[in-house]
Structure 1
């Protein structure tokens, strides 16, 4: 894991995303790719005299904001001691991130924890998770770090998504001081047994401890959050589930609630 992709946008989660991406990049001795994706393009403003004028004004304002943001980020990165580059693309953020995921190892996005209207971050997360080829760090707005060397909690229910998330997180889990696997039984038919996650990690030289709470002890997300607090986890590895591929994605209840309420970063794959 050497290549980290960071979503650049002037929003409430930017500082937390930036700090997490810097921590990750330093931990792996890698390179940080900063992507500013903005769909406003002056060349698209050709819908009559009035429409063109309005679109031009919007595009001009967007360009000025992009230049200001880029100057601030580049000034900041110049003093961080990491290898980095900054790219701008006239494209929808979800499309830009998914396209650029082909040759990166992990993507850093924000959770829906700090937004009054969670539709935008949830929509971006949904599109990226279902179209990107790399795992995603879902960073809470109020957590300005990512400790790859601290304890980690793996959410395991034997599903394909959980297996994908575990496999993608191996480079991070190798750095973790302790790896805990929380087995969760759900009313679904999954193919992989409880011990398969621990066995897979052992093949990679990663020791893990299995936690198996009794079934029916409460909502799955509450169990995960309680166990994460109990083992002092710095992040949770989990698979993402969904029921709709609409632009504003509707996640399964566990995933959606964790995106909004989790107090530590999530490392998520679909």
Structure 2
């Protein structure tokens, strides 16, 4: 992993993303690209000529420039390679565009202009429509240790397989890898690959793993996975992101959506 794209936005999770990005850059010897998208003001009802929106744009630009000055001054003191890109457009479009030449996209669990109580639609859009894995940072992470154990959620689906492959470079740094299947849930179809196939794939890449089955006991699979990750002191969870064609605005399947609401540790998503 040599290139990491970091979403810059002045939300409560910006410090968390900065800390995680710096720790990953040092551990993986990676280059950081900080992408700051200046959101265009929304045209309000009655502002048919767009005059109010036009007046708000310089304010938004000034706030963005101030945030950039603060973070750049801090980055100058850090021992990592980085660059800064500022764009004025739609956030998801710009992130997907720049993600094409990055190995990982780091975003927050609270998306711009969205309720903090809802799972990030931005993370879902990037994971499902993009081609790079997405790491969703918790709001209050203080650091990121790539050597900590990793828990990979496995249900035999193509999404789970893709997430496993996309996270290989990270898993190689983990002290322990758990390939975890929640049993007793509505699992994959009969055509789904068994966990032993995922373990064999990891083995061919020099990664040993422990295959574990987690009883559901009528609980939501997301709760089971989070509990398993925390009890094993995992540093992050790898998860397949699920899209629904008929209800794409929901972005996620049930497990992904539940885990994204307030993740205690980083989530690595791929579709």
Same fold flag (TM > 0.5): yes
Shift of 1:210: 1.0
Distance 1:243 1:77 in 2: 40
Question: Is the 2:128–2:243 contact (alpha carbons within 8 Å) kept by the matching residues of 1?
Answer: no
State the secondary structure of the residue aligned to 1:241: coil
Worse-matched range after superposition: 153-162 or 124-133: 124-133
Does structure 1 residue 22 correspond to structure 2 residue 22? yes
Question: Is the 2:128–2:241 contact (alpha carbons within 8 Å) kept by the matching residues of 1?
Answer: no
Gap change, CA 1:39 and 1:19, over 3 Å in 2 = same
Question: Is the 2:31–2:81 contact (alpha carbons within 8 Å) kept by the matching residues of 1?
Answer: yes
State the secondary structure of the residue aligned to 1:213: strand
Q: Which residue of 2 aligns with 1:198?
A: 199
Q: Which residue of 2 aligns with 1:7?
A: 7
Q: Which residue of 1 aligns with 2:56?
A: 58
Shift of 1:119: 7.1
Distance 1:132 1:73 in 2: 27
State the secondary structure of the residue aligned to 2:198: helix
Does structure 1 residue 241 correspond to structure 2 residue 239? no
Q: Structure 2: give runs of 5+ residues left out of the alignment.
A: none
Shift of 1:223: 1.2
Distance 1:162 1:19 in 2: 27
Which digits, 9 at most, give the CA deviation of each residue in 1:223-250, with x for residues without a partner?
Answer: 1112112211111111011325878544
- Report how many aligned residue pairs link the two structures: 265
Structural mapping, 1:67-106, within 5 Å: 67-106=65-104
Q: Whose helix fraction is larger, Structure 1's or Structure 2's? A: 1
Shift of 1:20: 0.8
Structural mapping, 1:1-270, within 5 Å: 1-40=1-40, 51-112=49-110, 117-118=115-116, 122-185=120-183, 186-187=185-186, 188-189=188-189, 190-214=191-215, 216=217, 218-243=219-244, 248-270=249-271
Give RMSD over aligned pairs. 2.6
Question: Is the 2:152–2:238 contact (alpha carbons within 8 Å) kept by the matching residues of 1?
Answer: yes
Shift of 1:10: 0.6
Distance 1:19 1:248 in 2: 31
Distance 1:9 1:132 in 2: 20
Question: Is the 1:36–1:88 contact (alpha carbons within 8 Å) kept by the matching residues of 2?
Answer: yes
Question: Is the 1:34–1:84 contact (alpha carbons within 8 Å) kept by the matching residues of 2?
Answer: yes
Shift of 1:218: 2.4
Which digits, 9 at most, give the CA deviation of each residue in 1:45-96, with x for residues without a partner?
Answer: 9xxx983532321111011111101101110111111000000111111111
Distance 2:250 2:66 in 1: 31
Question: Is the 2:38–2:61 contact (alpha carbons within 8 Å) kept by the matching residues of 1?
Answer: no
Which digits, 9 at most, give the CA deviation of each residue in 1:135-179, with x for residues without a partner?
Answer: 011111011222111111111110101001000111001001111
Gap change, CA 1:9 and 1:72, over 3 Å in 2 = same
Distance 1:199 1:177 in 2: 18
